[in-house]
Chain A
């Protein structure tokens, strides 16, 4: 009972998040790096169903923003200019943006109107679009880095477990090193030895590689244990007696035993690595402007006055919660399914 409930919770948190992020180019009304310089720090737009005269509309509409003359980033809805919210909008491309994008957007408004469901940042960029695209970047980083880590752990762990002896000893001592060090410190240390800034595409790859290289030790250990125990099973010995090669043994008999561990570890590492990417980008060491990522969107709120006056800038942090919670629940479910702990 408890098990399937946890699974529903995990899937319920993760599936919508991933769908949102995968459909970023369709779901976001604007491109993430289009600057609306007249509208910095706009609060989230409220869709209205009842207009100023009291008439009720079926479809929602938004008011245009009117900047108040005194002060910076102070706005009032201009009730004289209302723009209906339209669905399945066909917007022309606004600026060349790397990556995929579509011409069709789920919702938008007419020309001259702006719908900022999560407000804008300092340059007037729509936060909802940036959140979706940024979530995509952060998730991809975490995902690919986790795959890299687990893959590396699988390789090294199975080699160590299968061949044993000196190779095993050396590899395990090496992995001891990575286990003993605090992961964030090691991450920073790796980052320090590499060029501080590179063009966006390269920095993305660099980041994935760095993050992936810090967490391979635990999966390697667990896989080694599993390989060790599988190595001496009867059917493996029998297959060896029949003349099976090492590669065949590994591929056919031993490695399938480790699938449970691999999946569980991946489930644990993904949220870990998402947080690692967020930490690095927050401190300016990860993904650079103008590419959005959850981390560098949060970097804006390092300044206390922005955090207190513009609360919607904290939403990328809130968006992390379902992601991380979902992945941890998923990891626990997988852990239990793999039979490694008894509740």
Chain B
């Protein structure tokens, strides 16, 4: 390279191009950062209802947009066909129900029905609706809409998920119209939590959906592509726009029927923006950066991270204590046909042995799981009723400590022994080896499974954990029954034990550990069946609690499920949100979205 010496700079084409590109890139990034061209639309205010509901809560100010992150995209806006969580979250903001469960007090309160009377035998409920209410498109509301809604939900050909909820003792509820604003509901037998079945049963507009229903196209109505003016509801917000893959926007319902104590019409917010953010980690990061206003469903990991950086952002974090979710382990106790899955049948000899299950439960270090997986933000469980359900928890249940010695004693008395290598073997000399399937999408559950595996290895059991995607897990548990042990979690929708009937009844659709049986096979199963049926008909709360306490004792003694832990409900919101009170029920943060307001915007 000795040919070259420095001469005056002569810019070639490539150099010019490079400079241009680099400069252009820098300028455009800069411009993008400085860009702030957001236009806030102006909301509409209309006359409020004649008989509004007065909401208790701080009086706020109007305006602003709430940005909420959703992990998955909703699939529909139709209350009849929505089964996924994201759709249901959004639909609950668009619709209202007759009697609502206040997530904070966990009691029922009047919603669209301003008062109701119960007949002496507890079977007939007469509801009085509020007068002068309008749907979000201005059309007046009357008992005809309620009648239509219930007709749709109870129609067998539609298969609405609400039908099961509105069925008491095998018979659907009967609705009669007694006047333009009066309705009567009749149950087949007295039902303890009859008021609570109206919660979240959205009232549909007759004027928009009747023709669709008669044409038989109701299940395809109200999809996400429907124009906003064809969707109407009685909820605090109405649908505005949806951009697939990005966000869904709701705007204020100008005809909403709730007011605050100073007779200002609710809601305060002008818009709610549901953003579709990928995973939990990214959600937490965006919340920390101040891009979203509200976050719920936080993992303990993200919560600790957000807490550590609390001073950088202006948000508040809430640890609401254990919620209604319980994570548990259950063994495959289905009576399988002799040919199918001989491996599983062989292992069921161990699983059916009560002392084996008790030994497994005794060997699980729940305190360590709470500490390591949830950073202390969870409660160890010994029964399926969590400490978050204060009303129904049997507080006198024994709480045996983690004890490997006790587990070993139990196994020895059940005929197991340890071979020369330290592996556990049964009376026939077969080493105990099984696999635990769990859903791979749930990181805490996978971590619990790893810890359980290590715990059981101390007993000499050869356990391996198999994370599968949820569809595969559901398939194995519900259809093929081809699994050894499964780790899952359930969330009750309500504190009341009645919605969980199909978990505990022997023929129930969620009787996870033994879906094959239709009749109880063991005396304690028959006892649980009897107790659950009886508590659903009694109206006296104390009597029901006594019966349900006994159910919890039986579950703990016989361990169809080995309950492990109940995670805390963790949520967060910006500091300048007013009336923001997350709860452990419902959708945690937006249950009172009509009262939420921004203190400055």
Contacts and interface: CB of A to CB of B under 8 A. Distances in A.
- Contact between A and B in the complex (any CB pair below 8 Å): yes
A197 B365 contact: no
Interface stretch (A9-17, A163-171, A301-309): A301-309
Nearest to A199: B464
Interface stretch (B72-80, B235-243, B448-456): B448-456
A35 B454 contact: yes
A184 B301 CA distance: 31
B464 A309 contact: no
Nearest to A93: B422
A196 B469 contact: yes
B468 interface: yes
B447 interface: yes
A305 B451 contact: no
A189 to B, nearest CB: 17
A302 B281 contact: yes
A302 B469 CA distance: 19
B453 A304 contact: no
B450 A284 contact: no
B375 A72 contact: yes
Given A37-B372, A196-B468, A284-B467, A289 B301 contact: no
A299 to B, nearest CB: 10
Report the contact-size class of chain A (Cβ under 8 Å from the partner).
Answer: 20 to 34
Contacts, number: 71
Given A37-B372, A96-B422, A122-B447, A304 B454 contact: no
Among A35, A123, A124, residue most surrounded by chain B Cβ atoms (within 10 Å): A35
Given A199-B464, A288-B465, A303 B451 contact: no
26 contacts: A33-B454, A35-B454, A37-B368, A37-B451, A40-B372, A72-B376, A95-B458, A96-B421, A96-B423, A122-B373, A122-B447, A123-B372, A124-B372, A196-B469, A196-B472, A199-B464, A284-B440, A288-B467, A289-B453, A289-B465, A290-B454, A303-B302, A305-B284, A305-B301, A309-B305, A309-B308
A277 B269 CA distance: 50
Contacts of B472: 196
A331 to B, nearest CB: 30
A32 to B, nearest CB: 12
Nearest to B453: A290
Interface string B457-496: 1100000111111001000000000000000000000000
Contacts of A308: 305
B285 interface: yes
Given A72-B304, A96-B457, A284-B440, A197 B468 contact: yes
A198 B439 CA distance: 14
A304 B283 CA distance: 11
Contacts of A339: none
Interface string A189-223: 00000001111100000000000000000000000
Interface in A298-319: 302-306, 308-309
Given A95-B457, A289-B465, A306-B301, A123 B451 contact: yes
Interface in B423-449: 423, 435, 440, 446-447
A309 B375 CA distance: 15
A205 to B, nearest CB: 15
Contacts of A284: 440, 467
A96 B450 CA distance: 16
A123 B373 CA distance: 9
B151 interface: no
Among B281, B421, B454, residue most surrounded by chain A Cβ atoms (within 10 Å): B454
Contact of A200 (B305, B457, B464): B464
Interface string B165-189: 0000000000000000000000000
Given A288-B466, A289-B446, A304-B281, 14 more contacts: A35-B454, A37-B365, A37-B371, A71-B304, A72-B375, A95-B457, A122-B372, A288-B464, A288-B465, A289-B450, A303-B301, A304-B285, A305-B304, A309-B305
A302 B446 CA distance: 15
A237 B145 CA distance: 95
Report the contact-size class of chain B (Cβ under 8 Å from the partner).
Answer: 35 or more
Nearest to A289: B450
A200 B376 CA distance: 31
B69 to A, nearest CB: 15
B250 to A, nearest CB: 30
Among A122, A124, A306, residue most surrounded by chain B Cβ atoms (within 10 Å): A122
Contacts of A199: 435, 464
B368 A303 contact: no
Nearest to A200: B464
A305 B305 contact: yes
Contacts of B421: 96
Contacts of A71: 304
Contacts of A35: 451, 454
A200 B453 CA distance: 13
A121 to B, nearest CB: 10
Interface in A49-103: 71-72, 95-96
A296 B57 CA distance: 49
Contacts of A302: 281
A309 B464 CA distance: 30
Interface string A258-296: 000000000000000000000000001000111000000
Contacts of B457: 95-96
Contacts of A304: 281, 285, 305
Contacts of A124: 372
A124 B421 CA distance: 25
Interface in A225-259: none
A4 B479 CA distance: 64
A196 B472 CA distance: 10
Contacts of A72: 304, 371, 375-376
Contacts of A288: 464-467
Nearest to A284: B440
B423 to A, nearest CB: 8
A65 to B, nearest CB: 15
A129 to B, nearest CB: 15
Contacts of A40: 371-372
A40 B440 CA distance: 23
A232 B440 CA distance: 57
B324 to A, nearest CB: 24
A144 to B, nearest CB: 22
Interface in A34-52: 35, 37, 40
B300 to A, nearest CB: 8
A303 B298 CA distance: 13
A33 B104 CA distance: 44
A151 to B, nearest CB: 30
Nearest to A198: B466
B425 to A, nearest CB: 14
Interface in B306-334: 308
